[in-house]
Amino acid sequence: MAAERRVKLFKNGRNQAIRIPREFELPGHEAIMRREGERLIIEPLRARSLVNYLATVEPFDEELPAIDDPPPEPVDF
């Protein structure tokens, strides 16, 4: 994999854009971009963990019906 590559900047409407060469493709459909001095850093958006997602979900207030769940039948081995 190449460590660096010269690319062209272009306008997309009122935004400046850049085509990311295949060898630098990021996974997924979203990324995080930030500026550090003169550098732009683009990183793939990490998948949220289930614990983080569940922390944002509103509590569930409905009563759930009882479930008929008898113990399993005995099995001879």
Question: Tens of pLDDT along 2-13?
Answer: 588 999 999 999
Q: What is the pLDDT of residue 2?
A: 54
Q: Is residue 69 part of a domain?
A: no
Mean pLDDT along residues 44-73? 88
Q: Is residue 63 part of a domain?
A: no
Q: Is residue 39 part of a domain?
A: yes
Range of the domain at 17: 9-56
Dist CA 56 CA 53 (whole Å):
5
Question: Please, are residues 43 and 27 in contact by the beta-carbon 8 Å criterion?
Answer: no
Could you tell me which of 41, 45, 20, 21 has the C-alpha nearest to residue 31? 45
Q: Is residue 77 part of a domain?
A: no
Q: Is residue 35 part of a domain?
A: yes
Tens digit of each residue's pLDDT (9 = 90 or more) over 34-49 = 999 999 999 998 877 8
Question: What is the count of structural domains for the chain?
Answer: 1
Could you tell me which of 25, 35, 32, 36 has the C-alpha nearest to residue 46? 32
Q: Is residue 21 part of a domain?
A: yes
Q: Is residue 76 part of a domain?
A: no
